[in-house]
Amino acid sequence: MRAFSRAAGGPMKIAVAKEIDPSEPRVAASPDTVKKFKALGAEIAVEPGAGLKSGLPDSEFTAVGATVSTDALKDADIIIKVKRPEASELAQYKRGALVIAIMDPYGNDAALKAMADAGVSAFAMELMPRITRAQVMDVLSSQANLAGYRAVIEGAEAFGRAFPMMMTAAGTVPAAKVFVMGVGVAGLQAIATARRLGAIVTATDVRPATKEQVESLGAKFLAVEDEEFKNAQTAGGYAKEMSKEYQAKQAALTAEHIKKQDIVITTALIPGRPAPKLVSGEMVKSMKPGSVLVDLAVERGGNVEGAKPGEVVDLDGIKIVGYTNVAGRVAASASSLYARNLFSFIETMVDKKEKKLAVNWDDELVKATALTKDGAVIHPNFQPKV
């Protein structure tokens, strides 16, 4: 089954929206992807100033053939964004338009209903299935990779001491000890970055497959390796929620380890659920003054007790860094990768011979990411509860 193509044979129109959230510096397109969209036969319109916070002035887009216009969203067939559109934005979209963004659908039923009521077909990039053909579209990985890198930079900035061991005539500076909790994409990049900076790195995760990855990066793995641990990974590669008994054993091991660490970086998230608490208030207090915790899960409730979204909390000299949208703190790189994720997905919806939009609603990528269509919420995981 195929969707509409642009009426009257005109070219499909793609609009790049400017983010209205002042805390969101990323943009959904780059000069590189604009060129690629044009090669597919699309017209590209960009809202003025859309890329400024990512170091992309309007001139960068016009130089590759895009139009910069306050009417960019008008009559657009596809609207690409970073964050889910708010009601004021939806009012500008034509019915039937495809809206593709990081939608944060879990627990946001009213926002999904608003998109359905607006008549747009909304797609959530973060629901992209983790299969081989979709790797280039995996926004969670592209953004988490940068968040893991930035977490180490934030930790280093707050730490106030050097990371590598330095032997000088004035004395020796010991290497910083960094502990990474949660070894997904963000955690692996945090390990690699901390190692590059010369830290002594340890890491933990409930998935046994990560032990080899941690050790391959030159870090030491820390876990209670019992039978439950050996079976602790979902088919999709995500961490399973562990039993209370296992959590208690792991917490005891972790508590002893954290006392000796300089920097702790937590990255544990389970899709659709509050972030698991990994570091208790007691564990925080057990650390040395001058120590730093960086909580990458703060937007979902946080892994560290006492972490506050958007703040650096100082507890008697121990800092808990709770910056939100950490990938956005490397906005130019994050935008470039996100733009490529978007292009790779949209490319699958275009009939290259006819150079027209032709969505195959039976495609597994479309089925996995489509939230709304024809005035209804269609994704099975977000169906309104009767």
| Catalytic annotation, residues | 130, 135, 138, 141, 238
- Bridge partners of 102? 83
Helices (H), the chain: 31-39, 58-62, 87-90, 109-117, 139-159, 185-196, 210-216, 227-230, 244-258, 281-286, 331-347, 364-369
Q: What is the DSSP letter of 164?
A: S
Gap between the Cα atoms of 279 and 247, Å rounded: 12
Query: What is the enclosing helix (H) or strand (E) of 172?
Result: strand 171-173
Torsion of CA 84, 88, 89, 94, to 10 degrees: 120
List CB contacts of 253: < 8 A, sequence separation 6 or more. Answer: 222, 223, 224
Q: What distance in Å separates the CA atoms of residue 76 and residue 54, rounded to the nearest whole number?
A: 23
Residue 147's nearest CA partner among 183, 182, 178, 186 is 186
User: Bridge-partner residues for 221, per DSSP?
Assistant: 203
Residue 175 CA, distance from chain mean position: 30
